[in-house]
Amino acid sequence: MTENPAARHYSEQQAGSLTTGDQLLLPDGERTAEIQHVEFEPDDFGTPAVVLANLTGGGTLRIAAGSTVKILDTTARVITVPDTTVQDIPVQDTTPDAVTQLTVAAQLPAEQPQHTGEAEIAPAAPAVVVPPLPAIPPAMSGPSAEELARIPAPQGTPEAVVEAAAEAHPDAVGVLLLADKLAKGINFKSGSCLKDLSDLAHELFITLKDPDGALTVADLLNVLPFDGNPGRWASVEASLAVSSFICRQDRQEERAEVYEKLLRLPENQETDPFKARMNAKVRQRSLNEPNLYDKEIFRSIDNSNHEAEREWRLLRLESLLFLRAHGGSETIGVGELQRRISNELEAVRA
């Protein structure tokens, strides 16, 4: 028995729509390999640019997301026939049994029409071009340029914004300490700098009750795109959440919606349908069962450790603000969140 590669049917599709289990035609144009896992490598703007196809037999293919590739068409009917029924066809033995697989019309070999020339093979089905999947689902796209314009541009350099915040509160030790660290230079690729900016915005709003100053500092972070690093994004996420709450309290509903869209934007960048569904389930579970640090707060109260209690309450407040920016969850509604946030603000400001 032998294998006839020419009898295989292939369909064309965009590399961005490859999924696990696809039989991909390799670059040599002769062999195929099953895809075990598909990953996407984004460009600097967060858009999937390179497809990483991990193969079952080992190895990884890097393919541009917009490239057209060929995969084995498994919908065609395949019939295995002995060697003696095929003549004058180039063959390639790939297994000890050397099985020949020919894609033929739906009839038994004995019923096929007799020809004295070459063996007849049914013509290949026309190639199907699958359009590329959008990087972000249309239903949950990011804010438009017009919406982003609702976020004011900073007055001067980031260092100047931080300096102005410190000058407005010359007696606030927490603000001065953070401002001194940031005065050396703000690097938006540094996780520690992003954390200091986020902490400064929270200090201005929570401790000093300065929502305008907090928004001015937070907006330095709010316009940063998601770069795929969860550690750095956590600071941006916290900044967006507190900005959304401040604007909701100040009746700036449209501006708050922009912050909330930016906050949810990384959640909708997964282009693989299966991964997107799994991520949505995990995300919803985390929203329904948030960590509100109840045990830690009660333990601090029992030990009369007011400083530790305040630190745990600040973490709880951050979780509640994040939930509020998501519009609540299936277990905690917006009204209940507003009440809890007010309680925590009163507790940490006392």
Q: Break the chain into its structural domains and give their ranges.
A: 5-111, 138-349
Q: What is the pLDDT of residue 255?
A: 96
> Are 131 and 15 spatial neighbours (Cβ–Cβ below 8 Å)?
no
For the chain of 350 residues, list the mean pLDDT of each consecutive stretch of 10.
55 79 80 80 67 74 81 60 44 43 40 46 47 42 87 93 95 94 92 96 96 97 91 95 96 96 87 86 91 95 95 96 94 95 94
Q: What is the pLDDT of residue 57?
A: 64
Residues β-bridged to residue 34: 23
- For the chain, helix, strand, coil in percent to 5 are 45, 15, 40
Q: What is the pLDDT of residue 240?
A: 97
Q: What is the second-level CATH architecture of the domain 5-111?
A: Roll (2.30)
Q: Cα(161)–Cα(213) distance, rounded to whole angstroms? A: 9
Q: What is the pLDDT of residue 191?
A: 94
Return the H-helix or E-strand segment holding 150.
Answer: none
> What would the DSSP string read from start to end of 284-314?
HHHHHS----HHHHHHHHHTT-HHHHHHHHH
Q: Cα(34)–Cα(72) distance, rounded to whole angstroms? A: 10
> Are 291 and 211 spatial neighbours (Cβ–Cβ below 8 Å)?
no
Q: What sign results for the dihedral spanned by CA atoms 323, 327, 329, 334? A: positive
Distances (CA, A) of 200 to 177, 212, 222, 230, 248: 9, 13, 14, 20, 20
Q: What is the pLDDT of residue 127?
A: 47
Q: What is the pLDDT of residue 141?
A: 63
Q: Cα(217)–Cα(200) distance, rounded to whole angstroms? A: 7
* 0.95 surpassed by pTM: no
